[in-house]
């Protein structure tokens, strides 16, 4: 049987396996809102330009609204034989309004139609993700404000390095997420041009107004080259790249939550809302939400890689290969959205174990740098010499099995005779964090000020 939508050239229907590989309605049906919005803008322009009658345009608009209502109500029957969302909508439109439906496709192609649909979808996805990331930033900034003076160990190489505050640590992720949002916003700005009207690849001989359809769909303007308009998938690639970086940031925080919630660290506790148990070990409380967030970058980076591989060798303009752009992108954006939501929930839910973190911060000779800085400031010692003296004192304390504050003044003077009792003032973790007042530093006053600034920005 001939396919009624494009079958004039064909005398027989496709083989069953051809239909199986060719159909995309199983996944592109989720573009129905964008497809109907693009069609509505297109038909209004056709009528305004006198390309079709206003009466036909009104019938088409009403019919499209009816199709949308059916899909939203779950009453629409999707057909694999009609391949994709575009032909499914158009076929149902013809059933509803008759021959006038055939005028809808005047001066456009499925090539520019899918290009505009997908841009609208990705644009909507960016707006949704941006709102979610803003909520996560707000949760982190609120946690930072509440724990501006809560001391924890700062790590390098996962070894105790210097004392920091938990609030400062939370604000580090606020900064990462700000960059993620800026990348998404930048991708949105660059992609916000309408390919509608590029038709199959060469433009059209009809007197269309591409600026009008671009305005109607919220684009900044139309794309300027018809070949690039239908061949371009940069907008998806760029958004997926931003999504992969964002997912990596979420994964780093998730990994820290996994580590912090172990009995070995005991820095934070998650409630039953974000943990699971074991089928055999009744004592277990597993941070499964964090572990799943930690895994999500694999899927999202995979989507980016898959689409890069699809696009890398395609000649201009459209090839059916590009149908493979949607499923990975849909999956990536869905999973990033879920990961953000789960991370926001965990941040709000977790309770820091304040004393445990403070004790851990005091271990590992974490105030050694403070001692070296004191030697430089007070004894005017070159930093490299101060570093050597401090290293010798750390070795002494390690040999005695104590911390730097537990060394007697006499023991300190065996390495540097000019050390005075004032040195003990800088060897506490409280003094250490309080002294880090440089711009961007971990001092509680800094953290309170920065958390307040971020919360104000995020409310704007």
pLDDT of residue 275: 87
pLDDT tens digit sequence for 283-334: 778 899 999 999 999 999 999 999 999 999 999 999 999 999 999 999 999 9
pLDDT of residue 1 exceeding 70: no
DSSP 181-246: HHHHHHHHHHH--B-TT-TTTT--SS---HHHHHHHTT-SSB-S-HHHHHH--HHHHHHHHHHHHH
The predicted pLDDT at position 281 comes to 81
**Would residue 337 show up in a list of annotated catalytic residues for this protein?**
no
* Contacts (Cβ under 8 Å, ≥6 apart) of 362: 163, 403, 428, 429
Q: What is the pLDDT of residues 361-403, one digit of tens each?
A: 999 899 999 999 999 999 999 999 999 999 999 999 999 999 9
**In the annotation, is 157 catalytic?**
yes
Q: 98 or 16: whose pLDDT is higher?
A: 98
Tell me what pLDDT residue 10 has.
Answer: 60
Q: pLDDT per residue over 336-362, tens digit each? A: 999 999 999 999 999 999 999 999 999
pLDDT band at 8 (very low <50, low <70, confident <90, very high): low
Average confidence (pLDDT) over 37-46: 98
Q: Tens digit of pLDDT for each residue in 221-276?
A: 999 999 999 999 999 999 999 999 999 999 999 999 999 999 999 999 999 998 88
Active-site residue (options: 271, 278, 319, 408): 278
- The active-site residue out of 157, 263, 279, 438 is 157
CB distance 293 to 343 below 8 Å: yes
Contact 212, 45 (CB under 8 A): yes
């Amino acid at each position: 049987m001939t396919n009624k939508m494009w079958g004039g050239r064909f005398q027989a229907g496709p083989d069953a396996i051809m239909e199986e590989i060719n159909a995309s309605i199983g996944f592109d049906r989720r573009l129905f809102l964008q497809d109907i919005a693009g069609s509505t803008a297109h038909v209004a322009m056709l009528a305004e330009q006198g390309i079709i009658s206003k009466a036909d345009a009104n019938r088409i608009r009403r019919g499209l609204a009816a199709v949308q209502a059916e899909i939203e109500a779950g009453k629409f029957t999707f057909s694999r034989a009609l391949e994709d969302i575009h032909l499914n909508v158009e076929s149902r439109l013809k059933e509803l309004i008759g021959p006038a439906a055939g005028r809808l496709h005047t001066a456009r192609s499925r090539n520019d139609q899918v290009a505009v649909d997908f841009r609208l979808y990705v644009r909507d996805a960016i707006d949704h993700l941006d709102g979610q990331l803003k909520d996560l930033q707000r949760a982190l900034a609120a946690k930072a404000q509440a724990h501006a003076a809560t001391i924890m160990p700062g790590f390098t190489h996962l070894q105790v390095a210097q004392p920091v505050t938990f609030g400062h640590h939370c604000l580090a992720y606020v900064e990462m997420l700000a960059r993620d949002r800026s990348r998404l916003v930048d991708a949105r700005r660059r992609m916000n041009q309408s390919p509608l009207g590029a038709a199959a690849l060469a433009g059209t001989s009809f007197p269309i107004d591409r600026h009008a359809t671009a305005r109607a769909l919220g684009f900044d303007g139309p794309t300027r080259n018809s070949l690039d308009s239908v061949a371009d998938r940069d907008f998806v690639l760029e958004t997926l790249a931003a999504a992969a970086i964002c997912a990596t940031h979420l994964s780093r925080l998730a990994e820290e939550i996994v580590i912090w919630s172990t009995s070995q660290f005991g820095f934070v506790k998650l409630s039953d809302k974000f943990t699971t148990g074991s089928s055999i070990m009744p004592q277990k409380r597993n941070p499964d939400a964090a572990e799943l967030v930690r895994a999500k970058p694999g899927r999202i980076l995979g989507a980016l890689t898959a689409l890069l591989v699809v696009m890398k060798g395609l000649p201009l303009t459209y090839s059916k290969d590009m149908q493979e752009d949607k499923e990975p992108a849909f999956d990536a954006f869905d999973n990033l959205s879920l990961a953000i939501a789960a991370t926001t929930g965990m941040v709000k839910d977790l309770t820091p174990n304040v004393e445990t973190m403070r004790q851990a911060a005091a271990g590992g000779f974490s105030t050694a740098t403070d001692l070296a800085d004191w030697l430089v400031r007070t004894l005017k010692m070159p930093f490299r010499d101060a570093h050597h003296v401090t290293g010798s004192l750390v070795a002494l304390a390690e040999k005695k099995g104590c911390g730097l504050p537990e060394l007697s003044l006499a023991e300190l003077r065996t390495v540097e005779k000019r050390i005075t009792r004032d040195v003990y003032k800088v060897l506490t973790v409280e003094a250490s964090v309080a002294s880090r007042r440089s711009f961007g530093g971990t001092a509680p006053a800094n953290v309170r000020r920065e958390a307040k600034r971020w919360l104000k920005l995020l409310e704007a």
